[in-house]
């Protein structure tokens, strides 16, 4: 029996934190950028507004796919045997 603590994984927690930040902060960033143009209404009239919208949505989709597929990255977590009873 090895006395070392179990190895913790950093990336799943990082993905969860980043996904939380983008989910709650992204819409506010889009709102601030869209209201900064000459017309605060929809559709956006500046290229930076469209780039911000596409970047926030792209980052959200990338992080979402990362969160969904994180179990594929660590196959040892999927194949861990259940602890035996006494």
Domain range summary for the chain, segments of one domain joined by +: 26-70
The percent helix, strand, coil of the chain (3-state, each to 5) is 65, 0, 35
pLDDT tens digits, one per residue of 7-42: 667 788 888 899 999 999 999 999 888 887 777 777
pLDDT tens digits, one per residue of 51-78: 999 999 999 999 999 989 887 876 665 5
Give the per-residue pLDDT at 2: 60
Other beta carbons less than 10 A from residue 54's beta carbon: 10
């Amino acid at each position: 029996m090895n006395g070392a603590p179990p190895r913790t994984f950093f990336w799943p927690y990082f993905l969860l934190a980043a996904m939380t930040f983008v989910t709650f902060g992204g819409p506010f960033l889009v709102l601030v950028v869209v209201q900064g143009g000459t017309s605060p209404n929809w559709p956006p009239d500046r290229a930076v507004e469209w780039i911000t919208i596409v970047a926030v949505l792209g980052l959200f989709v990338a992080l979402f796919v990362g969160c969904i597929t994180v179990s594929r990255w660590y196959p040892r977590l999927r194949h861990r045997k259940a602890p035996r009873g006494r």
